[in-house]
Amino acid sequence: MKKLLVLSILIITSALPACKKKTASLPTGTYKGIVVFNICSQAMIQTLGPYYLGEETWVSGTAPGSTVYHHVFAVQNGCQFGNRSAGDTINFKVISPEVQNCIHCMMFVAVPDSAYAIQVVD
C-alpha cells in the first residue's frame, strides 16, 4: 500500500510541469482586411489572403439565410481603431491589447469569439 502511494505521488508530481500554462504569442507580420462593420466601438474585420486571422467560418445570426463570413475576427481595441467605414480595405498588424477607456454605446452587436487588438498601418 505504501509503495502504491509513493508511486502515485511520483506520477502526479512528474506530470505537473506539463500542466503549466503556455502563453500564446501574437501573430506577426502585416495583414490585409476589409471592415465588415464598425458600430458603437465594435468592429469586425474579414482578412484577405494569403495570410488569415480569426474564425474560418462565422454565421451572423441563427435565422435561415443569415450571412456567412470567412476569416473574421472582432477588433479588441475599438477605442483606438477609429471611424473606419464598412467596406474600407486596411493593412494592419496585431498588437498587444490596451486598456479601453473611451465612451461607447450599450448596443448589442454580435461579433465572432475570435478577437485581436490591431493597429492600422499604411
- 1 found inside a domain: no
Question: Which pTM does this prediction carry?
Answer: 0.75
Residue 35 lies in a domain: yes
Q: Locate 103 and state its grid cell.
A: 465612451
Q: Note the pLDDT tens digit of each residue in 13-60.
A: 555 555 554 556 778 889 999 999 998 889 999 999 888 999 999 998
Q: Residue 13 falls within a domain, yes or no?
A: no
Is residue 74 packed enough to be buried (19+ CB in 10 Å), middle (13-18) or exposed (0-12)? buried
Report pLDDT digits (tens) over 109-119: 889 999 999 99
Give the CATH number for residue 29. 2.40.50
Express each pLDDT in 52-63 by its tens digit. 999 999 998 877
Q: How many domains, the chain? A: 1
Residue 96 sits in which domain range? Answer: 23-121
Task: Specify the residue for cell string 486598456.
Answer: 99
Domain assignment of residue 7, yes or no: no
Residues in the chain: 122
How far apart are the C-alpha atoms of 10 and 57, rounded to whole Å?
A: 44
pLDDT(65) > 70: yes
H/E stretch holding 45: strand 42-48
Is 80 domain-assigned?
Answer: yes
11 within some domain? no
Q: Which residues 6+ apart lie within 8 Å of 67 measured at CB?
A: 59, 60, 61
